[in-house]
A = this chain, B = another copy of it.
């Protein structure tokens, strides 16, 4: 059963996703990648979004390291690494959000996420090449990000007296992702310590009634205000969290937390699936109130990609066929609404009814990342399990 998925995902990845980006995304003139690509690959914005530069470096490097040692993957990764290392950081070491095509800074967010994907790109590229300078910089940026998360004032956004002390799921996830890669690459125990901390932190986001991971919980035990930020449920994020937890728990086993993460995959789909029109909702208010996000009922590609991999992983880890029913449903929705068999790569944005809202294949928040990562990880999980479920 799962072998058929692996074969289809392999064809999708190798024949329609990777070629789309190799053909349209590489900027051979200035370095780096175009990510704002229309349906047929036409570039509609030449700016370089650093999140997506770092993510593409990571992805091309990971493909080289684990999918196929194709020199085109390594060359594509190098195109991004060189551009990023030349242009992406300011004199204080902070990482810009966006650059012009030729690398001049356009915008700096007061958030650590551009640095996160810069870090991940460098580390995976170092793994592919043995480049010691890249690895050293990846280790340095990892530490800087931990400081920035602990004290946002360092990025120009001091905590104000009325803002509650919260733990943000996104902050845990990115530390978990970085630490998993760094631990595997270096064996340095400080990354295992970060993984242990992250596992404990994520577990505090588990909602025992709903079986989901919440976006924010209290950091110090004081109850959060009853507001939309505290009631926010992001199904795709909760599902992504679950598989990252399962990866962390492979290194540091804990049967109870493993059961919790598996429960969160099912719980997130149960609560996040749109019973009326199908597809996974973008945002949900847990009290059934309106969200502050006007795009809450839209259907985005990435929760579906994350769900596919999480379900494949759950099926292969447990051998339980119950996961296949959800996998079939998510896979069918995804291939009907997001996959573009004509030009390759997936569309990103549908409205609630599943009608395409934008024709783009990429933009300032969609690049070469969620789709190829989910396909690659799914193929690998199925192959590791020998195709059984």
Contact = CB atoms under 8 A, between A and B. Distances in A.
Contacts of A129: none
A285 B160 CA distance: 37
Contacts of A285: 44
Contacts of A162: 99-100, 103-106
A30 interface: no
Interface string A226-269: 01100000000000000000000000000000000000000000
Contact of A290 (B46, B107, B289, B359): B359
B363 A292 contact: yes
Contacts of A106: 160, 162-163
A160 B355 contact: no
B100 A358 contact: no
B290 A294 contact: no
A198 interface: no
A316 interface: no
Interface in A25-73: 36, 38, 42, 44-47
A107 B163 CA distance: 7
Interface stretch (A113-121, A345-353, A368-376): A345-353
Interface in A86-132: 96, 99-100, 103-108, 110
Q: Tell me how many chains of this kind the complex includes.
A: 2
The size class of the interface chain A forms with chain B is: 35 or more
B45 A228 contact: yes
Given A99-B162, A292-B363, A355 B358 contact: no
B156 A292 contact: no
Interface in A359-389: 359-360, 363-364
Interface string A263-296: 0000000000000000000000101011110111
Contacts of A360: 290
A107 B227 CA distance: 14
B363 A352 contact: no
A357 interface: yes
Nearest to A104: B162
A325 to B, nearest CB: 29
A232 to B, nearest CB: 11
Given A44-B290, A106-B163, A225-B100, A357 B352 contact: yes
15 contacts: A44-B228, A46-B227, A47-B225, A103-B162, A105-B163, A106-B160, A106-B162, A110-B110, A290-B359, A291-B358, A292-B364, A294-B298, A351-B351, A351-B352, A352-B357
Given A36-B290, A106-B160, 18 more contacts: A38-B289, A45-B227, A45-B228, A46-B225, A100-B162, A104-B162, A107-B163, A108-B160, A290-B359, A290-B363, A294-B295, A294-B300, A294-B358, A295-B295, A351-B351, A352-B355, A353-B353, A353-B355
